[in-house]
């Protein structure tokens, strides 16, 4: 199935985030349960809100987005939940696969990088260095449907020609937003 891309939002996954969404139920920091979400840094929030076509959510409010799995399009659509976080950041909620139902497109079953039980942020950093970067993306097709997926490593020759290559592969940027515009 070929989807003409209307918009894409992409974000590089940090070692801390990979650890947060991978650590097991008995691996808790002192004084709390620990984060189980994917944190969206303040610098990417405006791009994310543009993709979500939404205002920054008030505390306690959520933005929901129905997405498909980019590798398994026959799977039922799933719901992503976005909410605010301190200092103007945002979070993609409930993405620790041991404590919540991670989006299937970002699951190890679809090849998404994972950590062994007991591994820590440094291990996550080593994994990300080895694969030369990990990014999650949301694509809105021309028909309005949204697909979630991820990329690993640097762009190959063909990928490097994509107009959104800089935000969707490698480690040079933290991510961003791209929208297709008709050539005049």
Partner 1 sequence: MTVTPAQALAALADNKNVLLYGPPGTGKTWLLSNIINLLNSRPEAEGGRPVLNVGNPAEVFGVAGEGEIDLPLPKNMTFDWVTFHQSYSYEEFIIGKFPLPKEGGVVLQPFFGLLMNAAINLSESGPDAGHIIIIDELNRANASQVFGEFITEQPLRVQKTHMR
Among 149, 170, 175, 176, binds partner 1 (CB under 8 A): 149
Q: How is residue 110 written in tokens?
A: 């679809």
- Contact status: 33 vs partner 1 (CB under 8 A): no
Among 43, 72, 88, 132, binds partner 1 (CB under 8 A): 72
Q: Which residues contact 2 (CB under 8 A, 6 or more apart)?
A: none
Helix (H, G, I), strand (E, B) or coil at 38: strand
Shortest Cβ 11–partner 1 spacing (Å)? 16
Shortest Cβ 5–partner 1 spacing (Å)? 5
Q: Which of 177, 170, 119, 141 is nearest to 66 (CA)?
A: 141
- Per-residue interface string for the shown chain with partner 1, residues 81-120, x marking contact by CB under 8 A: ------------------------------x---------
Q: Tell me the C-alpha distance between 68 and 77, whole Å.
A: 5
Shortest Cβ 19–partner 1 spacing (Å)? 25
Q: Which is nearer to partner 1, 27 or 145 (CB)?
A: 145
Q: How is residue 179 written in tokens?
A: 């929208």
Q: Tell me the C-alpha distance between 117 and 47, whole Å.
A: 33
Q: Tell me the C-alpha distance between 112 and 71, whole Å.
A: 11
Alpha carbon separation from 115 to 10, 93, 109, 122 (Å, rounded):
22, 19, 13, 11
Sole window of 18-26, 33-41, 118-126, 159-167 interacting with partner 1 (rule: CB under 8 A)? 159-167
Binding site for partner 1 (CB under 8 A): 1-5, 8, 68, 70-73, 111, 139, 141, 147, 149, 151, 158-159, 161-164, 168, 180
């Amino acid at each position: 199935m070929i989807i003409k891309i209307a918009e894409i939002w992409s974000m590089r996954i940090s070692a801390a985030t990979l650890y947060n969404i991978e650590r097991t139920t008995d691996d808790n920091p002192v004084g709390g349960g620990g984060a189980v979400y994917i944190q969206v840094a303040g610098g990417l929030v405006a791009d994310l809100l543009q993709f979500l076509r939404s205002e920054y959510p008030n505390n306690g409010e959520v933005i929901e987005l129905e997405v498909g799995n980019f590798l398994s399009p026959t799977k039922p659509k799933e719901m992503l939940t976005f909410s605010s976080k301190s200092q103007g950041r945002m979070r993609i909620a409930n993405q620790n696969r041991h404590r919540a139902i991670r989006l299937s497109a970002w699951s190890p079953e679809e090849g998404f990088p994972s950590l062994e039980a007991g591994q820590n942020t440094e291990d996550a950093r080593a994994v990300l260095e080895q694969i030369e970067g990990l990014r999650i993306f949301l694509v809105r097709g021309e028909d309005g449907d949204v697909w979630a997926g991820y990329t690993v490593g640097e762009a190959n020759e063909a990928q490097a020609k994509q107009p959104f290559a800089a935000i969707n592969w490698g480690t040079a940027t933290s991510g961003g937003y791209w929208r297709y515009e008709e050539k005049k």
